A and B are shown apart, each in its own frame.
Chain A
């Protein structure tokens, strides 16, 4: 056996495709003394890599996942471990046909060759299938199968040849020691290893290993059933592991692929069968491997019937038997995304978990870049392990969402679709009032937020709001949103914003600390409200948020609910270690109501003795007010483009604040409005950008139109890149496009939802010089403008007002016009309403 080291620069735990890929890329980026551990033997230590079905479909609706998959395919190919066989997703139902059109749009958006084909064409590619049960197919020629075990061996070999890697199989991790919440040591049954970095790439065992260090990796092992049926003469005759395209039979949530002489059938349709990480058998206790558990045939029978429908010609033969059947374990997370990055709890403890075979090498590269440079090339926004609120890391939440999400693996998931399980984790003090008003609650970070209020439905007719004729466009949507919007613009609305994440930064080092993390000048007078981008080291967006200077050395940071946990981790990670800065999460200590509209001042003046005139309380300032007897921190700013305030109060006073405003607002036409207005309609009319949509690590403030007029002298994260970007012409500019009266072939008015590709009128993709495609980052109604708006980054030449393009939405193309290049709002361009 290789000698076991007592120290390492980094210890990578888990020698599946992810761990092997991480060590390979770390070695490539110059790391040395890398130790790769696995409890199991090599080359197949017994994790999910060893039994995966190993096929790669490159098209995903998520750009992040598509990029990771694409990078992985390049790496597999470069290792000689990729066999292109093509793949077809087939539809048996009209709804699935529509979804295939959506897939087609995503393929076009991300630049992946694909086409929609007829059942007869499907049968031409895969002759042993019965096309009569099908309606359509979505063919991607680049679909491939890979050999992740062999790829992993080659990656280890390269790192070993670079003199960077020691591999220790059959080595069990017994503990991970931390000091001051930082990794110090890994204890194993072969000795202790001093190290400052640990990468947990243990797949289904990751939660167990992370727990040794006091961190959580919120995933659950779950069963994915698969069987091999054969021998099938037509398949055997090819003499190859795979010669026919892989079929994803999407409606019954299953797939069929050739595997030598066999047809392998896998399913995501059976009941969710979850395991506890501690219950996974050891290699000794398992008949096949720890992650290949005994097949439970009763769960699979419906899939057999579905497979028989499609492949009766080859499956219904006396000599084609079920030769292999397993309950394979894979990792499921609460939101279906991977768990990547440094854990928020322990410095130096990195997670590379919940990764499919198709993303493995890409994730290895991403983690290695992130560890080396502080930021990876591919934005890990949706996969960042820091994204979870505390309750989302609990066992019961993970199990509830994993159970619900399992059947969505091949499901048709609407972009606005809400989770059904484990709801109501966080409720603002206004919740009961909102419920009484018929609120339709959407969830963010566990918070229940009204998206719209049923009680406002009379406004729809009163304000003449149109519905959406197509069910898909109208799903998880209501015309009430547009009515609430118009009511706000006409009078005044109040909006529950308690889901905001808020943290207080204080201490003698507070100012310098914030200066370092933000683009805007923080050294402003006490009482100023400062909007600022927060950048990563490469100048791309990390966040955008509002900072309120509450005192000389006291600031409050207010950021969006969905990114709050990520932002808190970012702030915590950059806190100086000398104790000069205190950082406190005050999210749960504050509830927030927004009060906006032309009549907002009338309402506020009615409930406070404080002077709220523009002179006394100008835009972009904050003041303590008393509303009735409730002390409130009021911020005069707006994300909806109206005069008004965010009112921050103690949660226990929230109900009284609500009631006071409702009473005082009645004569002024106050309506409650939902996040549909705040997050979409009012925002998009004002051209405001949203983190995770317009704002991402791929784009900086210059391209997003959010560059500030001055450049502060203080250094800050991302300054060099930001400075450079300011000096040149942007490669792309965020634009707002108008979609006027788009009607489909059935004559129905249609409303794209976001994510769609933008094409030239003759159907070509629009891509900037850095290879970034133009696609719809946000889409929404603009009721005050009487249109539907889209936002998208466009390269020079296209980013000019009046440019005509088309958007492809569910198989049809609609003309759009660039209405604005840059940040100037289409609605109230000089912001006179909110400054009034």
Chain B
């Protein structure tokens, strides 16, 4: 069988990542001609109904007081026990965070390999996976040479679809025996995150380089950042010129960021800087030089001087918000 480990959000609904995991598991199961079993921690809730719509007929519910926190050692140990009992061909889970940690613990407990960050799994005599490396710049094809294949999946796999052939879901409650000799970490506090924005966490970074020209020149960048809910960053030139503190520096010798939008003002895009911002989802470049690398790599570009373009953008935003 294919075992798919699923997680639920605060409202008890299957997470989007878990839905993708189930879809991948079902695809693999069809290729191999085996059934799919889901595994989750806690009570059944609405999960059987949800699984039924996705054509999954078996649910293993791991229940133990130590599992409530999702603590990886406990979940991993419980999962390892289940795998030993069920001997699935593969165990799939969403990639990242505690889920990966639990999978790692289970794989370690069983001395099995674990392929993380997979984008594709190809069953066969030899199971091959494709996984991300180097932050996703590279892909790796690798063989998983083990009777049980532990894989965590990057988002963006086959899109989950509900199936017409709704299944009758059999729920197996499993109460693992968790060793008491192992010291475990425990969750002692959970709070909503304070909203203080940092360069690393801001959804928008408005950064300035050589083209800003002076410390005072950053005023208009601050203004724009304020209007779009972002923070100000800078290139190394700016730090070296004393225009901005080092904490604002984006780049190899500063902070590497991955905002939704990076506004690069008067930054040519030397590699030193580029590696700091290349993970931005979108880039808007403002530069006098249409052949600057930052311009050719940007999603959008405005050719012109920072101090001509930005004040006009700020004015336009204000005009529209007042008008609206």
Residues of A within 8 A of B (CB): 1, 41-44, 50, 150, 153, 167, 169-170, 231, 236, 238-241, 259-262, 283, 286-289, 323-324
A231–B246 CB distance below 8 A: yes
Known: A41-B296, A240-B242, A260-B241. A287 touches B291 (CB 8 A): no
B252's nearest neighbour on chain A, judged by CB, is A288
Whether B163 sits at the interface, judged by CB under 8 Å, is: no
Whether B101 sits at the interface, judged by CB under 8 Å, is: no
Given contacts A260-B241, A288-B270, 16 further A-B contacts (CB under 8 A): A41-B292, A42-B292, A43-B292, A50-B270, A167-B291, A239-B215, A239-B242, A240-B241, A241-B242, A260-B242, A261-B240, A283-B271, A287-B271, A288-B271, A289-B272, A324-B253
B271–A289 CB distance below 8 A: yes
A262–B242 CB distance below 8 A: no
Bound form: Cα–Cα A288–B251 in Å:
11
Bound form: Cα–Cα A42–B303 in Å:
14
B242–A236 CB distance below 8 A: yes
B253–A323 CB distance below 8 A: yes
Q: Chain B nearest CB: distance from A554 CB in Å?
A: 57
Whether B15 sits at the interface, judged by CB under 8 Å, is: no
Map CB proximity to A onto B237-265 as digits: 1 under 8 Å, 0 otherwise.
Answer: 00111100010000011000000000000
Bound form: Cα–Cα A283–B242 in Å:
29
Whether B289 sits at the interface, judged by CB under 8 Å, is: yes
Complex A-B: 17 CB contacts under 8 Å: A1-B291, A41-B268, A41-B269, A42-B268, A42-B292, A153-B289, A231-B246, A239-B242, A241-B240, A241-B241, A259-B240, A260-B240, A260-B242, A261-B240, A287-B275, A288-B252, A324-B236
Q: Chain B nearest CB: distance from A463 CB in Å?
A: 65
Q: What is the interface of chain A mostly: helix, strand, loop, or mixed?
A: loop
Residues of A within 8 A of B296 (CB): 41, 170
Residues of A within 8 A of B292 (CB): 41-43
Bound form: Cα–Cα A261–B270 in Å:
20
Q: Chain A nearest CB: distance from B120 CB in Å?
A: 26
Residues of B within 8 A of A170 (CB): 291, 296
A38's nearest neighbour on chain B, judged by CB, is B291
Return the contact of A261 from the options B215, B239, B272, B293 (Cβ within 8 A): B239
Q: Chain B nearest CB: distance from A285 CB in Å?
A: 11
Return the contact of B239 from the options A153, A238, A260, A288 (Cβ within 8 A): A260
A43–B246 CB distance below 8 A: no
Q: Chain B nearest CB: distance from A295 CB in Å?
A: 12
Bound form: Cα–Cα A1–B303 in Å:
13
A-B contact count (CB 8 A): 57
A264's nearest neighbour on chain B, judged by CB, is B240
Q: Chain B nearest CB: distance from A230 CB in Å?
A: 9
A168's nearest neighbour on chain B, judged by CB, is B291
Residues of B within 8 A of A167 (CB): 291
Residues of B within 8 A of A153 (CB): 289
Map CB proximity to A onto B277-295 as digits: 1 under 8 Å, 0 otherwise.
Answer: 0000000000001011100
Q: Chain B nearest CB: distance from A426 CB in Å?
A: 46
Q: Chain B nearest CB: distance from A53 CB in Å?
A: 13
B272–A288 CB distance below 8 A: yes
Residues of A within 8 A of B210 (CB): 150
A290's nearest neighbour on chain B, judged by CB, is B271
Q: Chain B nearest CB: distance from A151 CB in Å?
A: 13
Return the contact of B242 from the options A42, A169, A261, A286 (Cβ within 8 A): A261
Bound form: Cα–Cα A834–B252 in Å:
73
Residues of B within 8 A of A286 (CB): 271
Q: Which of B148-197 contact A (CB under 8 A)?
A: none
| Residue from A1, A260, A286, A324 whose CB has the most chain B CB atoms within 10 Å | A260
Bound form: Cα–Cα A170–B292 in Å:
10
B272's nearest neighbour on chain A, judged by CB, is A288
Residues of A within 8 A of B241 (CB): 240-241, 260
Residues of A within 8 A of B270 (CB): 44, 50, 288-289
B291–A169 CB distance below 8 A: yes
| Residue from B252, B270, B275 whose CB has the most chain A CB atoms within 10 Å | B270
Known: A153-B289, A170-B291, A288-B252. A44 touches B268 (CB 8 A): yes
Residues of B within 8 A of A261 (CB): 239-240, 242, 246
B295's nearest neighbour on chain A, judged by CB, is A41
Bound form: Cα–Cα A43–B292 in Å:
6
Q: Chain A nearest CB: distance from B266 CB in Å?
A: 11
B268–A43 CB distance below 8 A: yes
Bound form: Cα–Cα A283–B239 in Å:
25
Q: Chain A nearest CB: distance from B272 CB in Å?
A: 6
Residues of B within 8 A of A1 (CB): 291
A261's nearest neighbour on chain B, judged by CB, is B242
Bound form: Cα–Cα A260–B215 in Å:
13
Bound form: Cα–Cα A323–B289 in Å:
28
A231's nearest neighbour on chain B, judged by CB, is B246
Q: Chain B nearest CB: distance from A216 CB in Å?
A: 31
A289's nearest neighbour on chain B, judged by CB, is B271
Residues of B within 8 A of A41 (CB): 268-269, 291-293, 296
Bound form: Cα–Cα A260–B234 in Å:
14
Bound form: Cα–Cα A170–B240 in Å:
28
A43–B240 CB distance below 8 A: no
Bound form: Cα–Cα A289–B271 in Å:
7
Bound form: Cα–Cα A288–B292 in Å:
16
Q: Chain A nearest CB: distance from B288 CB in Å?
A: 8
Bound form: Cα–Cα A41–B287 in Å:
14
Bound form: Cα–Cα A261–B243 in Å:
10
Residues of B within 8 A of A259 (CB): 240
A238–B289 CB distance below 8 A: no
| Residue from A1, A43, A289 whose CB has the most chain B CB atoms within 10 Å | A43
Bound form: Cα–Cα A324–B246 in Å:
13
B287's nearest neighbour on chain A, judged by CB, is A43
| Residue from A41, A153, A231, A259 whose CB has the most chain B CB atoms within 10 Å | A41
Q: Chain B nearest CB: distance from A317 CB in Å?
A: 15
Residues of A within 8 A of B291 (CB): 1, 41-42, 167, 169-170
Bound form: Cα–Cα A202–B271 in Å:
20
Bound form: Cα–Cα A283–B297 in Å:
14
A238's nearest neighbour on chain B, judged by CB, is B242
3 nearest CB pairs, A to B: A260-B240, A41-B293, A169-B291
Q: Chain A nearest CB: distance from B2 CB in Å?
A: 40
Bound form: Cα–Cα A153–B291 in Å:
12
Residues of B within 8 A of A169 (CB): 291
Bound form: Cα–Cα A283–B272 in Å:
12
Q: Chain B nearest CB: distance from A371 CB in Å?
A: 26
Bound form: Cα–Cα A42–B292 in Å:
5
Bound form: Cα–Cα A639–B216 in Å:
69
Q: Which of B202-244 contact A (CB under 8 A)?
A: 210, 215, 236, 239-242
Bound form: Cα–Cα A398–B275 in Å:
36
Bound form: Cα–Cα A696–B252 in Å:
50
Q: Chain B nearest CB: distance from A48 CB in Å?
A: 14
Q: Which of B271-324 contact A (CB under 8 A)?
A: 271-272, 275, 289, 291-293, 296
A240's nearest neighbour on chain B, judged by CB, is B242
A326's nearest neighbour on chain B, judged by CB, is B272
Residues of A within 8 A of B240 (CB): 241, 259-262
Residues of B within 8 A of A44 (CB): 268, 270
Residues of B within 8 A of A50 (CB): 270
Q: Chain B nearest CB: distance from A236 CB in Å?
A: 6
Bound form: Cα–Cα A142–B210 in Å:
25
Residues of A within 8 A of B252 (CB): 288
Q: Chain B nearest CB: distance from A82 CB in Å?
A: 16
Q: Chain A nearest CB: distance from B244 CB in Å?
A: 10
A237's nearest neighbour on chain B, judged by CB, is B242
Residues of A within 8 A of B271 (CB): 283, 286-289
Bound form: Cα–Cα A260–B242 in Å:
6
Residues of A within 8 A of B272 (CB): 288-289
Bound form: Cα–Cα A289–B272 in Å:
8
Residues of B within 8 A of A43 (CB): 268, 289, 292
Bound form: Cα–Cα A260–B239 in Å:
7
Bound form: Cα–Cα A41–B271 in Å:
11
Bound form: Cα–Cα A447–B242 in Å:
55
B271's nearest neighbour on chain A, judged by CB, is A288
